Amino acid sequence: MAELLSDISFIFQRLNWLGVIDILLVTLIFFGLLYLVRDTQAMALLRGIIAIIVLIALMTSIFNLPAFSWLVRTALPGLVFAIPVIFAPEIRRALERIGRAGSFLAARRKNTGQDASRTIQAVVTAATRLAARQHGALIILRQLDSLDEYIRTGVSIQASVTPELLLQIFYPNTPLHDGAVIIGADRVLAASCVMPLSSSGILARSPERQMGLRHRAALGIAESSDAIAVVVSEQTGSLAVAHAGRIIRNLNPERLTNILGAFYAPVQPRRNGHIFQRIFRRSKRDNP
């Protein structure tokens, strides 16, 4: 114990402001990595890797195992090269967020005005009427990222956004009702589009088991792009919004209008934080 205290004292004696900055940088990197893999399957992989490393460290330090120690030293470089492959989706998502950071505010400024207001009003009106009839729907509002690969999976529409058009598309048993509608600016670009399904554990850990493929598809496109997904549940008629890997459920028309309007509102110069993160935190406070 005395030797341990002596080592700690020696470390603090040699610590200077450069060392503190060094430790803070490493801490921020690990925090960022954990933040990126939260609520994903990569979190389980990360826990498994940490458990294996701890187990190997204990075995090599407690027992004299020369052959096993040689195997660990030989296999460790291969594990370092395998980590980028294992966490490829999370690394790609982080790079995409960094690349979008500079142009996100400019894109928001371009989307302001009467066209955005009309689009939001049409989407909210259609979603409200669909929810009252319990007709399922998935509406994707394109932002900065291109959604051409998903538009090609559906049927091209290229029409102005109106509540009547959205109601007709999502009417049960019509040719275009199954799939997502993609809206860009003030036009319906395509309908019956196939969206990627989310692999995160957010829906699996929800206390209610009322979220199906539409919610998984909404989270999937919200994880792989900066698009905003509006979901109408076919089972309950509830409204939800997904963005940036997060989903807010059980919305009323007024709150849905406010949330969508927040993405197109003029940017406040001293509040450049993530919009959906603030909305998500406020929603958790309102619905504990």
Summarised one tens digit per residue, pLDDT across range 92-104 is 666 666 665 554 4
- When the pLDDT of each residue in the chain is averaged and rounded to a whole number, the result is 78
- For 127-138, the pLDDT digits (tens) are 999 999 999 999
Is residue 213 within 8 A of residue 225, CB to CB? The reply is no
Q: Nearest to residue 202, comparing CAs of 218, 178, 180?
A: 218
Helix (H, G, I), strand (E, B) or coil at 230: strand
Kindly report the CATH number that applies to the domain delimited by 106-286.
Answer: 3.40.1700.10
Question: Please, what is the end-to-end C-alpha distance for the chain in angstroms?
Answer: 46
d(CA 112, CA 115): 7
pTM, full prediction = 0.63
Residues with Cβ within 8 Å of 88's Cβ and at least 6 positions away in sequence, in order, are none
Contacts of 120 (CB under 8 A, 6+ apart): 257, 260, 261, 264
Q: Where in the chain is the domain with CATH 3.40.1700.10?
A: 106-286
Q: Distance between CA atoms of 123 and 87, rounded to whole angstroms?
A: 36
